[in-house]
Chains A and B, each alone.
Chain A
Amino acid sequence: MRADQRRFRNIATALLFLLPGFLLFFAFVIGPMLYSFRISLYDWNIVKPERSEWIGLDNYARALGDPIFRRAALNTLVYTLVTVPGQIIIGLIIAVLLNQDIRGKSFFRVIYYLPVITSWVIVSLLFEYMFIGQAGLVNYVLRDVLHIIPKNILWLADPILTFVPIHLLGIWKGVGWTAIIILASLQAIPDHLYEAAEVDGAGSSARFFSITIPLLRPTLVFLLVVLTIGGLNAYISNLLITNGGDPLDLTHFILTLMYEATFTKLDFGYGSSISYLLTAFVFMISVVQIRLLRQRVDY
């Protein structure tokens, strides 16, 4: 067989393997991503797209100047700042506990992982139900069992307090995953490091902070990146618990606002500009965090 003939055959073979996947990938992921940018530069007409009016960056300016958008951005940021460290710290504690020589390890692992595999829709409704003002379990426990509060708190009607169930849910649902990831890297730390430190007289907290934490750093940064992206993209719990922004559009997350602008108010251009702003922000944060990941620790 001649060389270029063989080369042609190789490419044909590769094409056979690549074509179905990349057709879909370009049609439904990369293509839409680019198209979305185009839409964001227009006052998009959904009935007759060709009549859409080019308005440059107006949609972006409008979003950045809109108090509802700013409030949504703030809500999303606070959610991320609360739930990401919450998941990492509690996950770390659980992983350290599970990393000891204990019985029933896989039982604990299964139970802790249950919230992770349960759909967001189900757990959001469940938390909404537990935090209902009048006959909710949480108010009952706080008022009648623990006597911490004098009367029922209307969690779901208040623009600040409604984030209590949303934040708790974010942490509760994610902890099992962070714990499993951290546990896997804990198990990869060689025992002799700890033994050597013990011989040198290091106490358990010294060992934790000078061996465990530095060696876990790549994992922790990985979690930081992934959880931050997840936090900024939070959507379902907020949509279901606040009915998409109630009361008075004060409780939106960026994506519930994007959803409302697009599919309720049919303002596709504005919705697209919101999702691009979010994506740009996500990319910036990921780049910074990945930079941090690069700095490795050697022992």
Chain B
Amino acid sequence: MGIKNRRRLNRFITYALLIIGIGIVAIPFWYMIITSIKPQAYIFEMPPRLWPSVVSIDNYTAALGKDLFGLYFLNSLFVAVITTAITVLISAMLAYAFARLQFPGKEVLFYALLLGMMIPPVMLIIPQFLVAKFFDLLDKFSGLILVYVSMNLAMQTFLLRGFFEGIPVELEEAALIDGANRWTIFWRIVIPLSKAGLAVVTIFTFLFSWDEFPWAHVAMKETTKRTLPIAIALFQSQHLTEWGQVFAASIVALIPVVIVFVVFQRYFIRGISTTGLKG
């Protein structure tokens, strides 16, 4: 076989494998979309169809109307946005201290933070529940937000410290000589120069809080304050066969995630590949 033919064959195999992979990834999503636009009577039709025979948006109107999904969507959005804002601010402050300031106990504190990155989050649920109960934070958005921020801090601080250390220190020294204090430098120089890093932190924190299940499952018992993952899981356990509505709600929950992902794809890939963060 000539080199040219061999290259062509290689190429063909590459595309073929990649497209098969796309099929395996996409079919479940496709099936979810199809199910969500099937009327309830067709949910268990045999044979199952990958192309709907009857299309209806009843599941969407039903799911969004009757089971407060509109409210849950807003709850999730509120929690995710506030969590993200606070996490970005606080982890940037921590990261700046570790990147630039001198203070006693710096190493010990940094190792404490690293330890925080290694603790499996679910093991903290029991004591976090007791702490939240003590501070009267159960069934409150503030309870979700404070725990989410705390659980994200270590990783995001670690990530931002790397970004901040990459900023030329001369800029800050010049400002110090001009009489600026650290806080001004942080706001006026470091933050504006770290947009890419802050974007990565924003995206990952947003997705974390949007999808978080275990803590919200424990901390939120009040019906009107549920976030989407809890609402969807409970909806399914209460309406065992109404898969169309379950998936209609799921797709609505997925839309912001996909938008954030597609818009910020560039930052995403950079964030994932430089830090090993998970979406």
Contact = CB atoms under 8 A, between A and B. Distances in A.
A272 B25 contact: no
Chain B interface, DSSP helix/strand/loop, else mixed: helix
Interface in A10-48: 10-11, 13-18, 20-22, 24-25, 27-33, 35-36, 39
B197 interface: no
B103 A21 contact: no
B213 A236 contact: yes
Contact of A180 (B31, B48, B151, B269): B269
Contacts of A135: 44-46, 48
Interface stretch (B54-62, B64-72, B166-174, B242-250): B242-250
A84 interface: no
Contacts of A18: 93-94, 97, 103, 109
Contact of A114 (B15, B29, B246, B276): B29
Given A126-B28, A137-B48, A28 B273 contact: no
A201 B15 CA distance: 27
A97 interface: yes
A255 B261 contact: no
Interface residues on B, range: 35 or more
A275 B31 CA distance: 37
A283 to B, nearest CB: 7
Interface stretch (A56-64, A191-199, A225-233): A225-233
A163 interface: no
A61 B99 CA distance: 45
B17 interface: yes
B18 interface: yes
A79 interface: no
Contacts of A229: 118, 120
A33 B119 contact: yes
Contacts of B236: 125, 240
A278 interface: yes
B14 A29 contact: no
Contacts of B128: 28, 32
Nearest to A19: B93
Nearest to B234: A121
A172 B25 contact: yes
Nearest to A261: B126
A123 B213 CA distance: 13
Contacts of A24: 90, 146, 149-150, 153
Contacts of B186: 17
A279 B213 CA distance: 20
B189 interface: no
A176 B279 CA distance: 10
A210 interface: no
A29 B44 contact: no
Interface stretch (A67-75, A98-106, A291-299): A98-106
A125 B246 contact: yes
B154 A29 contact: yes
A144 interface: yes
A117 B130 CA distance: 30
Nearest to B90: A21
Interface string B101-131: 1111000010011011011111111111011
Contacts of A17: 93-94, 96-97, 101, 182, 186
Given A25-B154, A125-B250, A137-B31, A172 B119 contact: no
Given A100-B14, A272-B126, A112 B210 contact: no
A113 B123 contact: no
A115 B25 contact: yes
A129 B44 contact: no
A238 B35 CA distance: 23
Nearest to B148: A28
A235 interface: yes
A13 B185 CA distance: 12
A133 to B, nearest CB: 11
Interface of B: 11, 14-15, 17-18, 21-22, 24-26, 28-29, 31-32, 35, 44-48, 90-91, 93-94, 96-97, 101-104, 109, 112-113, 115-116, 118-128, 130-131, 146-147, 149-151, 153-154, 157, 181-183, 186, 207, 210-211, 213-214, 218, 228-229, 232-233, 236-237, 243, 246-247, 250, 253-254, 257-258, 261-262, 265, 268-269, 272-274, 276, 278-279
Lowest 5 CB-CB distances: which A-B pairs, in order? Answer: A184-B273, A32-B127, A28-B150, A14-B103, A119-B211
6 contacts: A13-B101, A29-B124, A102-B11, A112-B21, A115-B25, A122-B32
